[in-house]
Amino acid sequence: MKNDLQFDFTVDKPAKTVYITREFDADLSLVWDAYTKQEILDQWWAPKPWSSKTKVMNFEVGGRRFYAMVSPEGLERWSVQKYTSITPKSNFKIFNSFADKDENPELPGSEWDLSFSEQNGTTKVSVTIYNDSLERMEKMIEMGFKEGFTMTLNGLEELLASLSGK
Amino acid sequence: MRRDIFQAIADPTRRAIIALIAMQAMTPNAIADNFDTTRQSVSKHLRILTECELVRQEQQGREIYYSLEIDKMKEVDEWLNQFRKIWEIRYNQLDDVLSTLKKQKK
């Protein structure tokens, strides 16, 4: 089933922009909730075995989500996402920055634009991430992911490969 | 000045050069033959690629041959793949969450 669903990932380095498009086998309102309700977001936002812990979230223009990615060892990487624009069930925009545990942002951040549309029960989500600097874009990966996370990913990939080989 | 490796691959001509010399080491003249631009412009691209350590030069007789630094290219690839993977996994998890939510609604 998942194979039928479109997944596009494009990095445009000169434009300092990443484009991520994905289709989901669910109606628009459910997908919208998954992105905008704290209790659902925390279930999928962090790639396992990391977990997502939202401390504050008020989904309204001027509001924010202050959350951490928590490693299996308990290491916390905090980020703040400020909601700069919301068009219900259609689009919202975020200003995203890394932060310390006291919510002091590390600038520069990145601008996110998320668009939602439904066709025949399939919902398409297009995410555009624009970074002020190339260094910031590279940091997105390095922060919190470089050591533990990617090693875990590699381990996972091997595990899946060995499982599917059986 | 240390150049940004991603700036190096951002340019379409440089990407084409990379694709060309990935097959075999080539002289600047042989590379330039594949493009409509001037020899000078190809030299500039080769210089940037060399500064980023994406290509290496080798003297063979009177000619300089350019070839690809495979390991360096892998680094670029890995970086992009890591980021892509984060989103892939995240979205596969969302698939599961959505399917659970749909069942709960019924």
pLDDT of residue A51: 87
Say how far apart CA A63 and CA A153 lie, in whole Å: 33
Instruction: Report the pLDDT averaged over residues A47-51.
Output: 81
User: Which residue has better confidence, B73 or A139?
Assistant: B73
CA distance B99 to chain A (A): 8
Which residues 45-104 of chain A have a CB within 8 Å of chain B?
Answer: 45-48
pLDDT tops 80 at residue A13: no
- Compute φ and ψ for A33, nearest 5 degrees: -60, -40
pLDDT of residue A139: 61
CB nearest to B79's CB, from A7, A33, A141: A141
Amino acid type, A78: W
Q: How confident is the model at residue A161 (pLDDT cuts 50, 70, 90)?
A: very low
pLDDT tops 90 at residue B37: no
User: Which residue has better confidence, A77 or A80?
Assistant: A80
Sorted by where each begins, the domain ranges of chain B are 1-68, 70-106
pLDDT tops 50 at residue B1: no
The CATH number assigned to the domain holding A45 equals: 3.30.530.20
- Structural domain including A140 reads 2-165
B71 touching A, CB under 8 A?
no
pLDDT of residue B23: 72
pLDDT of residue A38: 94
Q: How confident is the model at residue A80 (pLDDT cuts 50, 70, 90)?
A: very high
Over residues A59-77, the pLDDT tens digits come to 999 999 999 988 778 888 8
Instruction: Report the pLDDT averaged over residues B51-77.
Output: 84
Amino acid type, B13: T
pLDDT of residue A150: 42
Residues 6 or more apart whose Cβ sits within 8 Å of residue A67: A42, A45, A52, A53, A54, A55, A57, A78, A79, A81
- The mean of the pLDDT values for chain B is 83
CATH number of B1-68: 1.10.10.10
Task: Specify the number of domains making up chain A.
Answer: 1
- Tokens 């924010």 — which residue? A64
pLDDT of residue A75: 83
pLDDT tops 80 at residue A126: yes
CB nearest to A9's CB, from B87, B97, B98: B87
Q: Which residue of A has its CA nearest to B11?
A: A14
Say how far apart CA A61 and CA A94 lie, in whole Å: 9
The 10 Å Cβ neighbour count of residue A1 is 7
Report field, pTM of the whole predicted structure over 0.80: no
Of A57, A68, A43, the C-alpha closest to A144 is A68
